[in-house]
Structure 1
Amino acid sequence: MAERPDIGSREDIIALLEDFYAKAFADDLLGPVFVDVAQMDLAAHLPRLADFWETTLLRSGGYRGNALEPHRALHAESPLTAEHFARWMELWSAALEARFAGPVADRAAVQADRIARAMRKRLEIADGSSPWSAAPDGRPELPLHTLPRDTA
């Protein structure tokens, strides 16, 4: 098998996204979210996704959006669970590893994990399903019942 190249261009990112979304759309857990709930038109959405990942991985600076907002709206319509995020990571990792290897590909794995964790946490805080609650200033605040008790 030939050595896998690293991610080096927008075209590489688009190929990765196409691989990932082909699997995600066909997936038993994620497919209904993308196809039925979000009714995602990949051809229309792909340039924005590529902008996001190109900015994240290649430091292009082309993405000027808020990636959380569309997910917040989707979550309000059909709650995204820990299982959704775990499956997203499985499929992302598989698509990434099948095509690329190197420092930028490693960054794509790390960044995807960070993004999934942060997004999941923010969505859980927003809907109150997290043990964390949002303070009036929007920062997460640990509920008092979870603080250690003074045993002295």
Structure 2
Amino acid sequence: MPPLARFAITAAEIDRVVAAFYAAVRRHPMLAPIFAAHVEDWPAHEAKIARFWRNAILLEGGYNGNPMAVHKAAGNVHPGMFDGWLAVFDATLARELPPETAAQWSALAHRIGRGLRYGLVDSAKTASGVPLLR
């Protein structure tokens, strides 16, 4: 028997949220330039991120990547940027999903965002060694 999903959602709903989120990202004043610097093929990127979320939520497998390494290697992603990312993501979830499902996915996204944010703190330090959190 396959493992149970973290919460009730379909692969099609995940794909729809990912597409809507990245449409919002491409219009966002802070996020658009950051993503544009790294994403050359939006359909391929969206498909990869949808696989990430289907793996995280539906436990499908099929995602092969290391989000922490990617965010560290980007060079222009800083811990404080995750608040904006999560605000756009939460707004997308609220528009696209029933409230309970949106809340459950949001909680997971915020947990993942905290992990990424903390992982970037070591690479975002001033010359004196003080973490740059914005």
Q: TM-score range by the shorter chain?
A: 0.7 to 0.9
Listed as ranges, the gaps of 5+ residues in structure 1 are: 1-5, 133-152
Unaligned runs of 5+ in 2: 1-6
Q: How many residues align?
A: 123
Residue 51 of structure 1 corresponds to 51
Q: Deviations over 1:5-39 (max 9, x none)?
A: x862221111101111111111001011011x213
CA distance in 1, matches of 2:101, 2:117: 24
Aligned residue among 107, 110, 121 for 1:110: 107
Q: CA RMSD in A?
A: 2.2
Larger radius of gyration: 1
Question: Who is 2:78 aligned against?
Answer: 80
TM-score under structure 1 length normalisation: 0.71
Contact 2:79/2:120 (8 A) holds in 1 = no
Q: CA–CA distance in 2 between the matches of 1:119 and 1:96?
A: 20
Q: Which portions of structure 1, spanning 4 or more consecutive aligned residues, are displaced by more than 4 angstroms?
A: 129-132
TM-score normalised to structure 2 length: 0.80
Does 1:13 find its partner at 2:14?
yes
Q: Identity across aligned pairs (percent)?
A: 26
